Amino acid sequence: MTASPVDPTGSQSAPVRTPLRRTRNFRNLWLSRVLSVGGSSVTLVAMPVLVYQETKSPFLVSLVAASEALPYVLFGLLAGAVADRAHRRRLMVAADLLNCACVGSVPLAAALGALTPAHVLTAAFLSSTLSVFFDAAGYGLVPVAVGRDRLAEANSALWGGETAVRIAGTAMAGTLIAVTSASGALALDALSFLASALLLRGIGYAPTHRGGGAADRPGLLASIREGSRFLWGHPVLRTMTVAGGLQSFAGGAFIGQLVIFADRELDIGASDARIGLLLTSWSAGGILGSLLLPRLRRRVSAPRITLFALPASAVLGLAAVLATDWRVALVAIAAWGSTYLLVIVNTMTYAQEVTPEELQGRVNTTRRMLSSGLGVPLGALVASAVTVAVHVRAGLLLAVAAIALASVIVWAAYPRARAATEETVI
C-alpha cells in the first residue's frame, strides 16, 4: 500500500489539483467558446455592413441589430426547458453545426449572386436563436464538466477569455472586411462554429440527471414554471437576479450613451481614436473583475461579494459620469467595468452552484433573459430618451441610480435571505 505524501511537520498534505487549463474538458470548452465568440464578434459588425452595402438603408441596418437581440426575449424560456430535457453537449454541437450552415449560407449566396437583405436578416435571426439554445445547454454543461467546486475558477477563465476575444474580434472586424469583404468575414465565422462543434465533441459529459420517458415529463409550460418557481422561491438567488437585472440596465444605458458622452462632455469625436480606448477600458476592467473572482470566492461567499461590489460599482460609475477629463474618465470606466462584470460572473456562478442540474437551463436562461434580453436594451432605450429630453449626463446618472437601487435592494434583503436559507456563509 502506498503511503500518502506528508509535509515536513508530519501531517498529510492536501491532494494536488490539476489546473483547469490542463484538463481536456475545460480546455476544449474554453477553446470552443473563444472561437465561437470571436467569430460572432466579427459577424456583429459584418452583417450590418453587408446590409448597408446592399441597400444603403439605415432602417434595414437597425432591423439586423433587432433580429440579433430579439431571440433571447422570444425563446429564452423555451430554450431553457429544451436544454434541461436534452443531452446538453449534443444540443450544443447541433446548435454549432446549424449555426455554421446558417451563417455560411450568406457568403455562399453572395458568391452565387443570389444574396438578398431578407436572407441576411433571416440568417441573423436564426443564428441568434441557435445561440440562445447553445447558451441554455452550456449553463448546465459547465458544472458537470468541471465540477461545482471549480465553477468560480472556470467562469472566471471563460468570461475573461470571451471578453478579451470580443475586444479583439470587434477591432479585427473592420480589417477583415477591408481585406476580404463582409461576406468573407462571415465565412470565417461559419468556420469558427464548425471548429467549436468539433472541440465540444471531445468533452467527456455524463449527465447526473436523466429525465424519465416522455410520459413522465411535464409539458413545456409546466417545465418553465418549475424553473421560475425555483428561481423566485430562492431568496438569495432571487435578490441577486433582480440586482443583476438592474446592473444590466445600467450597462445598457452606459454603453448606449458612451459615444455621445465622449463627444459632448469629454471633447472626443466619434472618429477620435480615444473613443476606442474608452470602450476598451470598460472591457479590460471587466476582464480584471472576472479574474479576481476565484481569489475572492476562496475568502468570501458569493452573496457577500455582491453586497459590497454593487455599492462600489455605483461609486465608480458616478466618478466616470462626473469626469470632465478623458484620462480620469478612462481610469474610472475601467474600474467601473471591473465591478460590473464581477457582479455578473459572481451571480452566474452562484446560480450554477445552488441550482439542481435538472433545472440549470431554465433557471439560468430566465436570469439571462431578464438581464441581456430585457435589462440591456431597456437601459439603452430609456437612457437615450433621457439624453434627448434632458442631458447626456442625466441619462448616464440614470445608470448609476439603477446600480444604487440594486445596492439598496440587496442590503435590505440580506437579513431575511440569510434567515430564510439558513446559510451561515452568507
Distances (CA, A) of 330 to 172, 262, 279, 299: 22, 11, 9, 30
Helix (H, G, I), strand (E, B) or coil at 115: coil
The full DSSP string for 367-380 is HHIIIIIIIHHHHH
Instruction: Select the more confidently predicted residue: 62 or 34.
Output: 34
Average pLDDT over residues 337-344: 94
**How remote is the C-alpha of 203 from its chain's centroid?**
22
Checking if the pLDDT of 198 tops 80, the result is yes
pLDDT at res. 62 = 75
Checking if the pLDDT of 327 tops 70, the result is yes
Q: What is the CATH number of domain 20-205?
A: 1.20.1250.20
Q: Decide if 20 contacts 158 (C-beta within 8 A).
A: no
Q: Which three cell numbers stand for residue 412?
A: 435590505
The rounded mean pLDDT for the chain is: 86
Distances (CA, A) of 159 to 4, 162, 288, 418: 37, 5, 10, 28
Give the sign of the dihedral formed by CA 229, CA 230, CA 235, CA 241. negative
* Alpha helices (runs of H) in 86-181, residue ranges in sequence order: 88-111, 117-146, 151-179
Instruction: Select the more confidently predicted residue: 409 or 140.
Output: 409
Q: Which three cell numbers stand for residue 120?
A: 441576411
Q: Decide if 62 contacts 122 (C-beta within 8 A).
A: no
Q: What is the CATH number of domain 226-420?
A: 1.20.1250.20
pLDDT at res. 187 = 92
Burial code (b: 16+ CB inside 10 Å, e: under 16) for 65-96 equals eebbbbbbeebbbbbbbbbbebebbebbbbbb
> What residues does each domain of the chain span?
20-205, 226-420
Average pLDDT over residues 181-206: 88
Lowest mean pLDDT among 58-72, 94-108, 157-171, 294-308: 58-72
Highest mean pLDDT among 144-158, 171-185, 194-208, 211-225: 144-158
Same fold, 20-205 and 226-420: yes
pLDDT tens across 3-57, in order?
444 344 444 444 557 788 788 888 999 999 888 888 888 888 888 888 888 888 8
| Predicted model pTM | 0.83
pLDDT at res. 210 = 54
Distances (CA, A) of 120 to 64, 128, 278: 8, 12, 31
Checking if the pLDDT of 66 tops 80, the result is no
Q: How wide is the angle at C-alpha 156 spanned by C-alphas 327 and 175, nearest 5°?
A: 55
Average pLDDT over residues 90-103: 95
Lowest mean pLDDT among 10-19, 186-195, 233-242: 10-19
pLDDT at res. 251 = 92
Average pLDDT over residues 152-158: 91
Checking if the pLDDT of 214 tops 80, the result is no
- Upper half-sphere CA count for residue 237 (Cβ side, 13 Å): 22
Q: Which three cell numbers stand for residue 121?
A: 436578416
At 119, the pLDDT band (50, 70, 90 cuts) reads: very high
Average pLDDT over residues 154-168: 87
CA–CA distance, 347 with 364 (Å, rounded to integer): 10
